[in-house]
Amino acid sequence: MIISSKDNEIIKEIRKLKEKKYRKEKFIVEGIKMLEEAINEKASIDLIIIREDINLDLDISEFKSIVVTEKVFDTLTDVVSPQGVLAVINKKGAENTNNENIKSIDTKNITELQIDKNADYILAIDGIQDPGNLGTIIRTADSANLKQIIVSKNTVDSYSPKVIRSTMGAIYRVNIIETENLVETLEKLKEAGFKVVTTSLDTDNSVYDISYDKSIVVIGNEANGVSKEVQDMSDYKVKIPMLGKTESLNASVAAGIMIYEYVREKIMKKR
């Protein structure tokens, strides 16, 4: 059966996922590559939606799927030239955390933090607003095998379509943990043995002057950097050396430098 009505109940539920407030449990991915990545990464695929004119060269027999008309598909897609395939994905671990993968953290009790405290390096995002920047940061973190990112409440939605596309599939492998209060979360993690590292122009230390063992590195807002509250409670402030006339870098570029200084440090220790 081909669904031809945009008022179909299933279609209406899928369409809701285009709004952040409905993405508590699920999110949408678009395109054949993203679907293929979801299958390969064994993501929890809730539903696959295929436009009626598409012959999908993927084995999706084990997944629930529906076929819709072009008119209906156009109400679901967020892409100018869609490939005619999208999927609804259950957020990682949602079924075990009261249907929340972006876990609200109870910062009053460290044991309730949904964070792997055995990690050596954790990335934290403090107010990033550009979806492309956040998606690129998630992708870069994945390339360094970082498994979790803490995201402040005022950061752009990690599961918005633009962020999802920018991650190029990394969203399936990195655990995104949203905190209601980043400062409280960082304070609790400091009690657990982590040191907090922030980027700042108000320091003589460069990113190459410290060790990143058991660190939480905070990447700040594109315009204002890391918030004053986080700066004030950080253990180390570092800056990226600038040899040219440019005074600042794109947030995702800065994050890449910070992440790969940690990678370099790990490689050197193994030699």
pLDDT above 70 as % of the chain: 92
CA dihedral over 10, 50, 95, 137, signed as positive or negative: negative
Which is nearest to 259 in space by CA: 152, 147, 173, 137? 137
Q: Kindly report the three-state secondary structure assignment for every residue of 155-180.
A: CCCCCCHHHHHHHCCHHHCCEEEEEC
Task: Please report, for residues 9, 28, 108, the alpha-carbon distance to residue 16 in angstroms, rounded to integers and kept in the order given.
Answer: 11, 10, 33
Measure the CA–CA gap between 117 and 121, rounded to whole angstroms: 9
Q: Note the pLDDT of residue 93.
A: 55
Would you say residue 230 has pLDDT above 70? yes
CATH architecture of 2-95: 2-Layer Sandwich (3.30)
Q: Note the pLDDT of residue 113.
A: 54
Contacts 24+ apart (CB under 8 A), 259-264: 259/123, 259/140, 259/141, 259/144, 259/146, 259/217, 260/144, 261/207, 261/208, 261/212, 262/121, 262/144, 262/212, 262/215, 262/217, 263/144
Q: Tens of pLDDT along 188-210?
A: 999 999 999 998 888 999 999 99
Which two structure tokens, joined as six digits, stand for 3? Answer: 């669904």
Q: Tens of pLDDT along 72-122?
A: 999 999 899 999 999 999 987 554 444 344 344 444 443 345 799 999 999
Q: Contact at 8 Å (CB) between 262 and 123?
A: no
Which is nearest to 221 in space by CA: 140, 159, 164, 137? 137
The domains of the chain are located at 2-95, 110-270
Which helix (DSSP H) or strand (DSSP E) does residue 244 occupy? none
One CATH from 1.10.3720.10, 3.30.1520.10, 3.40.1280.10, 3.50.50.60 for 110-270 = 3.40.1280.10
Q: Tens of pLDDT along 7-40?
A: 999 999 999 999 999 998 999 999 999 999 999 9
